[in-house]
Amino acid sequence: MYGRFGTSAGRNGTLTTYLLDAVNIVAGNADRAGGMMLGGLGIPGQRWLLNPLGAVLQREYRRTRTRVGDFPTVLRSEPATMMAKEISTPGKGQIRALFVSAGNPVLSVPNGLELEEALEGLDLMVGLDFYVTETTSHCDYILPVTTMYERDDFGVAFQAQYASPFRQATEAVIEPVGQARPEWQIIDDLMARVAGRSVPFRALGLARKALRPFGLRPTPRRMIDGLIRLSEGGDLFGLRRRGLTFDRLVRDHPHGVVLNEHVAEGTFKNGVTHRGGRIRLKHNEISEEMARLNGRSVPDGYPMRLIGMRETRSENSWMHNAPLLMRGGRTQRAVLHVDDAAELGVSDGDVVTVASPWGSVEVPVELTKDIVTGVVAIPHGWGHKGTGGWQVANRAGGANVNQLMSTDPADIEAMSGMAWLTGIPIRVEPVG
């Protein structure tokens, strides 16, 4: 059984994901080719590095709760859906400053209008971006960052997700233009200026002083090079001849290299951080979530369901300002089954109102037979209204589908704080 983002972003996302995993485990399809597998870098001793970290994260999950909504922190992160309320709700721990890097939460979290209003109440807001977007237009400062052509890259975050172990590194093609700098450099310099003001930053300051006589600065490239050398296929710092390094990947494998046809079996022992290395299927939180199912209801008057969809030439809200990707008069469309359209009396291209209990948007429809009746699919990331260099995206228009989502803590997934983004109760009506 297989599921990813589509099944994890519903009202019961964690429970659904847990049940998918549980079926695979009970059926004997965990850590077995053709079943549920774990990827990774294949670093020697990885288990002994992950186990202490996993223990810390488990403890934090059980003990640390959010100020608004009483949600657990997951991987030391809090629910973005509660961001507006965390900013606007007075009291100890209220968010007073916000740094935004590689994100556009006004378009990407539920109820962007609520968030926009909250952002105006911050004491300080800083954006790391190369556009003035719907979010960064609220910033006191926008610090220009490099594009992908002005920095080195290695997809470290995706290494554990490849079905076939794959390595690829790229170097900057040109020097940064104007005042642009890589995000890490901006953050690194800001942290250096506050070193000594708290215990973690004081430790950082001492580490800098220790490295300075050797002319060393812990850059991402240095750290990633070490990671590549230690991982599967790496040169183990010279012990494995012709093994991979960052430089060797760039020089000898500009399009990347596949290390193995498939992820290896027997890797679960490196990823299970429970004591004893055993997978645990019994969790009180799961039982509580199952019990909550019986008490849920949907308001009358919303007979259809909304799901999200990704587009080939979009990645969330990022690519709507690239002219080549917007060719052909691209616009946002709500995908609707032809039978539903006939019942509503709408034709291909007609504008409809899509309403949920929490908001409404207007969007043209695209008719198809490739969707279940009673379901509407609308791509997210549209509804641009930024200023400055976001001009192509602004002209594309569209509607922010996240205005249809709830930010009521009672509607947010209790075990992880995941936003309710799919299976939204809606009704569809022709405009006019």
Residue with tokens 């599921």: 3
With a cut of 80, say whether residue 275 has pLDDT above it: no
Cβ–Cβ under 8 Å, residues 430 and 334? no
With a cut of 80, say whether residue 312 has pLDDT above it: yes
pTM for the whole structure: 0.88
What average pLDDT does range 65-93 have in this prediction? 94
| 403, two tokens | 């205005």
| 280, two tokens | 């645990």
Amino acid identity, residue 155?
A: G
Give the whole-angstrom CA distance, residue 279 versus residue 114: 41
Give the whole-angstrom CA distance, residue 169 versus residue 155: 8
Q: Name the band, by pLDDT with cuts 50, 70 and 90, for residue 197.
A: low
In terms of Cα–Cα distance, which of 20, 150, 86 is closest to 412? 86
| 35, two tokens | 């079943």
In terms of Cα–Cα distance, which of 98, 95, 103, 110 is closest to 133? 103
Q: Name the band, by pLDDT with cuts 50, 70 and 90, for residue 286.
A: very high
Fold of 301-430: Barwin-like endoglucanases (2.40.40)
β-bridge mates for residue 360, sequence order: 355
Q: Look at the alpha carbons of 279, 282, 284, 285 in this order and tell me if their dihedral is positive or negative.
A: positive
With a cut of 90, say whether residue 248 has pLDDT above it: yes
Give the whole-angstrom CA distance, residue 240 versus residue 234: 7
Which tens digits make up the pLDDT trace of 176-192?
999 999 999 998 888 87
Task: Give the 3-state secondary structure percentages of the chain, helix then strand then coil, rounded to 5.
Answer: 35, 15, 45
The number of beta carbons lying within 10 Å of the beta carbon of residue 383 is 23
Q: Which residues contact 430 (CB under 8 A, 6 or more apart)?
A: 344, 345, 346, 350, 351, 352, 353
Could you tell me how far CA 388 lies from the centroid of its own chain?
26
Q: Where are the domains of the chain?
A: 301-430
